[in-house]
Structure 1
Amino acid sequence: MTDPGFETVVALLDDEYARAVLAATDGRARSATELAATLDASKQTVYRRLERLREAGLVAEATRPRSDGHHETVYTATLERVSVELREGEFAVEVETDGERDAADTLTDLWRRFP
């Protein structure tokens, strides 16, 4: 994946809700409903931030089984580090994500947590 642009990263990190979503999903998969309750935000607000973060490659989504037999989409932060440099009068951003894990690893971990 190519790094998202400087403006995209800065805008996301400047957004209070986007930062809160990243913090809440760091190391823990959460559904949009769980995030809305945790962040005291509307689902619409959460979904908008999740979409922007997903498009930038800063969160990953997976499907998790629920106890009622249905499934839900859950999100996990992939962001590990952001570096911003000024080179020859131009800003450059480098985003490091959890690239070692893939969707299959995430799904396997989710299944292991299901009772």
Structure 2
Amino acid sequence: MSEEPDLEAVAALIEDETARRILTEISSQPMSASDLSERCDASKPTVYRRLDDLRQCDLLEETTKPDPSGGHHHTLYAMNLDRIVVEVGDGSLRLEIDRRETMADRFTRLVEGM
């Protein structure tokens, strides 16, 4: 995502109980939508909508893992968020999102810095 999501979009997600529970559940380990549906006590369509909303605000990342036994794949959702800060001052609100840096991002930053 090239630019930060707006304050209203992030606030709406944080206000939503299912979105908050998804973020809480994936904060310790990646999970599938089915697992999240069970853990969050929400329907799969609701979980998928919230996952899409969270992905649009770049608050999570998804990875696809092949399932060698079944010939299918599983999509797992993981936290890429460290913190969200809302600063109030100078007559305005400012949103700051600190994301976890992936190994690929660190490598890119290293190469670009040479």
TM bucket by the smaller chain?
A: 0.7 to 0.9
Question: What residue number does 1:63 align with?
Answer: 64
| Structure 1 gap segments, 5+ residues each | 104-115
TM-score, normalisation: structure 2: 0.83
TM-score, normalisation: structure 1: 0.82
Question: What residue number does 1:34 align with?
Answer: 35
Q: Is 1:77 equivalent to 2:79 in the alignment?
A: yes
| Structure 2 gap segments, 5+ residues each | 106-114
How is 1:1-115 mapped onto 2 (pairs within 5 angstroms)?
A: 1-66=2-67, 67-102=69-104
Following the alignment from structure 1 to structure 2, what is the Cα–Cα distance between the partners of residues 9 and 99? 20
Following the alignment from structure 1 to structure 2, what is the Cα–Cα distance between the partners of residues 15 and 102? 31
Moved >6 Å (runs of 4+) = none
Larger Cα Rg: Structure 1 or Structure 2? 2
Task: Report the count of equivalent residues.
Answer: 103
Cα-Cα RMSD: 1.6
Query: What do the CA deviations read for 1:14-72 (whole angstroms, capped 9, x no partner)?
Result: 11000000011113111111111111110000000000000000010110122322102
